[in-house]
């Protein structure tokens, strides 16, 4: 399977239904798009539009009711640590494991020997600037640090795609800013094997700041309203106060509110 | 399955089962040869009345005690150790005291009735009080501060903030308490003290009589099934709805995307309470003034201890002070017990050394305690093994869960004491009448008082594992054995611990009735603490010191286990708790 032939992730007419309290509903409807290698894609939409469901389908944690979810040309059959790793809004760390032990979770499940695990954990402790906290427990860490551990844990298994579920919305603004820049650095870093990022968020400014492309979903049942390339040059921090940045944000906003009125 | 239809289904199955088996085995004759059978509806009524009276006393005790202990640190200093000791005294350790006291003051039926109610009270009160204290202390700081800044202090604070907030904990404590009450119903209604047991009208004594004195198996089984049906019905029609109703009083903290949800304290119970407060306006005023005086008093009272700084930070008290308070209270309570026994037995409290030398068996107390401990340990390990497996299996599929939960519910509602005779008979048939079989029967009986606490706590813990942690473990490929070893079992360690503490508490209580069994004029007993206590009370001239020694030994063992085993384990288990729990 040659790289570049297939998109990393492809969704074709994916629909997901659900039952809640004995009533049926549709979370997302007829969603189709592709994620290509090296892209940083943000999916935005109002709360409840099904973005989380979409991400979990891409992660293999859930399956579409109809349509196909494909990874590198093959249908997604379940969670595959070699393909994708996920970062959670609520961090999802194991409270009885310290930072190092949390990072090595994915490495243990593939049966990697201890020595190799230690090497990899140390590498990512360094990359995420967590070396001083290697033996700390989650309850001792701030939200920002916990998410760093979550990121390290995901990167440690060196997946092809990183899937992020509103990773910064539980953090205060300054910490979130810092982490956004860190995430961009990781994405750009040629030494890390993970270079395709998919992130869902409800903050338009965040999406415009980070992404190559923004996919906009409508409210439930979520449909793709727009799939827009962000033409603002990088490094983005230089352009965060520029007109093109605000124009882009305004356009996305108008798109969403236009769709809400329909 | 919705609750009402589940109830109807279960009851119909039970009735049908009874109808069919009784007709097939032609047991109706034997059933009705028991003169009490036709009185069963009345007996059920008497039992419920007794339980309700005991429960009302529990409420009258638990709320003031719990709220005051929860709010005032200085009060807590003495009130918590006192409650701890009272809770550690096994329920049937109160039995001699209850009987001797009440029957002496009011000889005749009323005295026995009061003793019975008091006994049920002691089986219920501590669980509810501890729940209330816990809930009062867990009121979030910001709610406390907001109330204070808006002038809600003293009685007003209690009435408008504390009471609604602790309502859910009160309900869960009550469910536990009633479970404890049912467990001891047979012993509470068939008061066996002295050679002739005195039976109070009720379904517990109906069952007990059928088994112990009449040997009427049909009655025993019928009574048991009826009992299970009653308890099960109450669980479904009273507790389940109350638990659902109490959820609206939970204070929910803000989640990042969701709006703040604070369910205002509404509902019928509150309406009734408000109505009472308004009609009898005097009560409200009176309570307000009383609380203000109490608060003023609490801040001025000088306790003979070092000054406790008024900080919110938890400052652990110096060990020797805690130790001396516990020792003082313990000795005081035990002396009180001894005095009660002596005066009710119309005996002098002679020299304790003299008592021991005339009853040399007392010197075996440490050995007996050790044997009983081993017995409980065996029952506990057996219970832990099967409940872990069952809990994991049951929580795996929703269908299994829905199917088995009523089964477990019924199992928990079954009064173990009523099962004792059957278990004993079966075991003796299978294993012969030797020591091994009686030990086995004893351990089996202990199991019945132990296993449900473990099962329900473990099931609860599994269901409370946060969804994102489960997702993360799936996403990172953690499966099979690794999942159980690295994710599931660590996650349920706090639940196992809580269940274990309750299980051991239940086991100590069950000890007295499981080590000394009387069945169709045969006595089966093992060497243990429970047997010792029962034997001591059955003497023609019971010695108050000996009885006190037995009760004291058991209480002391429970307290020591608390301090040496459970508390350190609790501290260790902190690291397994998910945030927010």
Q: Which residues pair with A10 in a beta bridge?
A: A34, A70
CB–CB of B181/B413 below 8 Å? no
Mean pLDDT of B483-498: 91
Most confident of A183-187, B174-178, B287-291, B317-321: A183-187
Residues B407 and B300 in one domain: no
Kindly list the residues from chain B whose CB atom is less than 8 angstroms away from the CB atom of residue A153.
476
Test mutation, A49, A56, A94, chain B, max B CBs within 10 A: A94
Task: Decide: helix, strand or coil at residue A217.
Answer: strand
Task: Decide: helix, strand or coil at residue B309.
Answer: coil
Kindly list the residues from chain B whose CB atom is less than 8 angstroms away from the CB atom of residue A94.
469, 486-487, 490
Cα radius of gyration (chain B): 25
How much is the pLDDT for B312? 44
Of B477, B576, B579, the CB nearest to A81: B477
CB–CB of B131/B59 below 8 Å? no
Residue B8 pLDDT greater than 90, yes or no: no
Mean pLDDT of B420-444: 76
CB contact under 8 A, A94 and B478: no
Residues B303 and B388 in one domain: no
Beta pairing class for A74-75 and A66-71: antiparallel
Residues B361 and B309 in one domain: no
Please say whether the dihedral angle defined by the alpha carbons of residues B540, B546, B548 and B551, taken in this order, is positive or negative: negative
Is B575 an interface residue toward A (CB < 8 Å)?
yes
Residue B21 resides in a domain: no
Of A61, A108, A202, the CB nearest to B474: A61
Q: Cα distance from B166 to chain A (closest Cα, Å)?
A: 27
CB contact under 8 A, A81 and B487: no
How much is the pLDDT for B192? 66
Task: Give per-residue pLDDT as tens, B529-561.
Answer: 888 888 887 777 778 888 888 889 989 998 899
Residues B295 and B408 in one domain: no
Residue B293 resides in a domain: yes
Of the two residues B409 and B206, the one the predictor is more confident about is B206
CB contact under 8 A, A79 and B575: no
Please say whether the dihedral angle defined by the alpha carbons of residues B127, B128, B132 and B133, taken in this order, is positive or negative: negative
Most confident of A12-21, A165-174, B332-341: A165-174
- In chain B, whose CA is at the least distance from the CA of A169? B256
- In chain B, whose CA is at the least distance from the CA of A168? B256
Residue B518 pLDDT greater than 80, yes or no: no
Of B256, B478, B575, the CB nearest to A96: B575
Residues B141 and B287 in one domain: yes
CB contact under 8 A, B477 and A95: no
Task: Give per-residue pLDDT as tens, B17-38.
Answer: 888 888 887 778 777 877 888 8
Of B257, B469, B479, the CB nearest to A94: B469
* Res. A109 pLDDT band, cuts 50 70 90: confident
Is B497 an interface residue toward A (CB < 8 Å)?
no
Residue B14 resides in a domain: no
Q: Cα distance from B461 to chain A (closest Cα, Å)?
A: 15
Of the two residues B441 and A29, the one the predictor is more confident about is A29
The single-letter DSSP state of residue A22 is: T
Residue B146 resides in a domain: yes
Residue B463 resides in a domain: yes
Of A80, A95, A110, the CB nearest to B576: A95
Residue B445 pLDDT greater than 80, yes or no: yes
Residues B286 and B434 in one domain: no
Which of the listed residues B314, B340, B372 is the one where a domain comes to its end? Answer: B314
Most confident of A200-209, B94-103, B279-288, B438-447: A200-209
How much is the pLDDT for B310? 44
The single-letter DSSP state of residue A3 is: B
Is A109 an interface residue toward B (CB < 8 Å)?
yes
- Mean pLDDT for chain B? 80
Q: Please give the residue range of the domain that contains residue B440.
A: 354-581
Is A4 an interface residue toward B (CB < 8 Å)?
no
Helix axes B73-88, B109-137, angle to 10 degrees: 130
CATH number, residue B173:
1.10.3720.10
Residue B341 pLDDT greater than 90, yes or no: no
Kindly list the residues from chain B whose CB atom is less than 8 angstroms away from the CB atom of residue A61.
471, 474-475
| Continuous H helices in B72-158 | 73-88, 94-105, 109-137, 141-149, 154-157
**What does the alpha-carbon distance between residue A200 and residue A55 come to, in Å, rounded to a whole number?**
8
ipTM above 0.90, yes or no: no
Domain count along chain B: 2
Residues B376 and B511 in one domain: yes
Kindly list the residues from chain B whose CB atom is less than 8 angstroms away from the CB atom of residue A170.
256
CB contact under 8 A, A94 and B490: yes
Is A77 an interface residue toward B (CB < 8 Å)?
no
Kindly list the residues from chain A whose CB atom is less than 8 angstroms away from the CB atom of residue B471.
56, 61, 86, 88, 92
Residues B467 and B370 in one domain: yes
Of the two residues A234 and B141, the one the predictor is more confident about is A234
Please give the backbone phi and psi of residue B108, each rounded to the nearest 5 degrees, phi first. Answer: 100, -165
% chain B with pLDDT above 90: 16
* Res. B307 pLDDT band, cuts 50 70 90: very low
Task: Give per-residue pLDDT as tens, B120-164.
Answer: 999 899 989 998 998 898 888 778 888 888 877 778 888 888 888
Residues B301 and B412 in one domain: no
DSSP string, A97-164: S-HHHHHTHHHHHTT--HHHHHHHHHHHHHHTT-GGGTT--GGGS-HHHHHHHHHHHHHHT--SEEEE
Is A157 an interface residue toward B (CB < 8 Å)?
yes
Residue B547 resides in a domain: yes
Residue B84 resides in a domain: yes
Query: How far does chain B reach from its first CA to its final CA, in angstroms?
Result: 29
Instruction: Identify the H or E element spanning B561.
Output: helix B544-561
Residues B310 and B178 in one domain: yes
**What does the alpha-carbon distance between residue A69 and residue A64 come to, in Å, rounded to a whole number?**
7
CB contact under 8 A, B476 and A80: no
Q: CA torsion, points B139, B144, B145, B149, in degrees to nearest 10?
A: 160
CB contact under 8 A, A108 and B468: no
pTM value? Answer: 0.79
Q: Cα distance from B579 to chain A (closest Cα, Å)?
A: 8
Is A132 an interface residue toward B (CB < 8 Å)?
no
Of A59, A85, A169, the CB nearest to B257: A169
Of B469, B475, B575, the CB nearest to A61: B475
Mean pLDDT of A237-246: 90
Residues B100 and B165 in one domain: yes
Residues B303 and B448 in one domain: no
CB contact under 8 A, A61 and B471: yes
% chain B with pLDDT above 70: 84
Task: Decide: helix, strand or coil at residue A32.
Answer: strand
Is B293 an interface residue toward A (CB < 8 Å)?
no
- In chain B, whose CA is at the least distance from the CA of A46? B257
Kindly list the residues from chain A whose CB atom is less than 8 angstroms away from the CB atom of residue B577.
95
Residue B87 resides in a domain: yes
Task: Decide: helix, strand or coil at residue B219.
Answer: helix
Residue B411 pLDDT greater than 80, yes or no: no
């Amino acid at each position: 399977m040659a790289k570049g032939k297939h998109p990393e992730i492809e969704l074709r007419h994916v629909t997901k239904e659900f039952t809640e309290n004995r009533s049926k509903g549709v979370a997302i409807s007829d969603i189709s798009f592709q994620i290509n290698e090296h892209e940083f894609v943000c999916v935005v939409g109002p709360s409840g539009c099904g973005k989380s469901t979409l991400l979990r389908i891409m992660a293999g944690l859930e399956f579409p009711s109809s349509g196909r979810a494909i990874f590198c040309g093959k249908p997604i059959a379940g969670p595959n640590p070699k393909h994708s790793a996920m970062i959670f809004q609520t961090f999802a760390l194991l409270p009885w494991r310290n930072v190092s032990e949390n990072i090595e979770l994915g490495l243990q499940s593939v049966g990697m020997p201890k020595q190799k695990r230690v090497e990899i954990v140390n590498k990512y402790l360094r990359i995420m600037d967590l070396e001083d906290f290697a033996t700390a427990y989650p309850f001792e860490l701030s939200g920002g640090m916990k998410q760093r551990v979550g990121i390290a844990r995901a990167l440690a298994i060196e997946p092809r795609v990183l899937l992020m579920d509103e990773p910064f919305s539980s953090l205060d603004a300054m910490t979130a800013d810092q982490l956004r820049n860190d995430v961009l650095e990781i994405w750009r870093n040629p030494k890390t094997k993970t270079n395709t990022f998919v992130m869902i968020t409800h903050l338009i400014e965040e999406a415009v700041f980070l992404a190559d492309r923004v996919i906009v979903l409508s409210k439930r049942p979520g449909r793709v309203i727009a799939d827009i390339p962000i033409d603002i040059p990088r490094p983005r921090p230089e352009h965060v106060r520029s007109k093109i940045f605000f124009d882009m944000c305004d356009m996305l906003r108008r798109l969403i509110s236009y769709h809400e009125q329909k | 399955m919705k609750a009402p239809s589940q109830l109807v289904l279960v009851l119909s199955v039970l009735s049908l089962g009874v109808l069919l088996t009784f007709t097939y085995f032609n047991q109706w004759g034997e059933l009705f040869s028991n003169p009490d059978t036709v009185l069963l509806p009345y007996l059920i009524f008497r039992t419920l009345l007794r339980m309700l009276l005991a429960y009302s006393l529990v409420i009258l005790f638990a709320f003031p005690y719990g709220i005051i202990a929860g709010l005032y640190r200085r009060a807590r200093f003495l009130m918590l150790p006192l409650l701890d000791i009272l809770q550690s005294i096994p329920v049937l350790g109160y039995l001699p005291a209850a009987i001797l006291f009440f029957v002496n003051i009011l000889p005749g039926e009323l005295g026995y009735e009061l003793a019975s109610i008091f006994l049920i009270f002691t089986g219920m009160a501590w669980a509810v009080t501890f729940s209330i204290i816990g809930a009062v202390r867990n009121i979030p700081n910001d709610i406390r501060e907001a109330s204070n800044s808006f002038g809600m202090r003293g009685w007003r604070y209690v009435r408008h903030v504390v009471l609604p907030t602790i309502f859910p904990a009160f309900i869960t404590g009550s469910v536990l308490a009633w479970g404890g009450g049912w467990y001891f119903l047979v012993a509470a209604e068939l008061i066996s003290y002295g050679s002739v047991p005195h039976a109070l009208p009720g379904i517990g004594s109906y069952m007990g009589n059928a088994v112990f004195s009449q040997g009427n198996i049909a009655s025993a089984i019928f009574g048991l099934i009826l009992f299970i049906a009653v308890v099960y019905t109450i669980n479904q029609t009273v507790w389940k709805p109350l638990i659902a109703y109490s959820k609206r009083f939970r204070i929910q903290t803000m989640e990042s995307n969701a709006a703040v949800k604070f369910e205002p304290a509404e509902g019928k119970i509150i309406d009734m309470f408000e109505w009472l407060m308004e009609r009898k306006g005097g009560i409200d005023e009176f309570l307000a003034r009383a609380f203000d005086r109490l608060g003023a008093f609490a801040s001025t009272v000088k306790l003979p201890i070092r000054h406790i700084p008024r900080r919110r930070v938890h400052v652990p008290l110096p060990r020797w002070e805690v130790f001396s308070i516990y020792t003082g209270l313990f000795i005081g309570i035990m002396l009180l017990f001894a005095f009660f026994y002596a005066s009710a037995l119309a005996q002098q409290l002679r020299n304790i050394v003299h008592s021991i030398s005339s009853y040399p068996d007392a010197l075996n107390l440490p050995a007996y305690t050790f044997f009983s401990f081993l017995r409980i340990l065996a029952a506990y390990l057996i219970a832990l093994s099967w409940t872990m497996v069952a809990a994991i299996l049951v929580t795996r599929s929703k269908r299994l869960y829905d199917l088995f939960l009523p089964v477990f519910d019924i199992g928990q509602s079954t009064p173990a004491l009523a099962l004792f005779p059957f278990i004993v008979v079966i075991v003796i048939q299978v294993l012969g009448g030797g020591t091994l079989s009686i030990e086995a029967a004893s351990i089996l009986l202990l199991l019945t008082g132990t296993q449900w606490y473990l099962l329900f706590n473990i099931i609860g813990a599994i269901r409370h594992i946060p969804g994102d942690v489960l997702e993360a473990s799936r996403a990172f490929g953690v499966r099979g054995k690794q999942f159980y070893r690295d994710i599931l079992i660590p996650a349920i360690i706090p639940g196992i611990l809580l269940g274990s503490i309750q299980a051991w508490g239940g086991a100590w209580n069950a000890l007295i009735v499981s080590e000394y069994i009387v069945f169709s004029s045969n006595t089966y007993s093992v060497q243990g603490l429970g047997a010792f206590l029962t034997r001591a009370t059955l003497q023609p001239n019971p010695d108050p010191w000996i009885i006190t020694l037995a009760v004291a030994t058991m209480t002391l063992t429970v307290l020591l286990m608390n301090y040496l085993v459970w508390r350190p384990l609790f501290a260790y288990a902190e690291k397994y708790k998910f945030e927010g729990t």
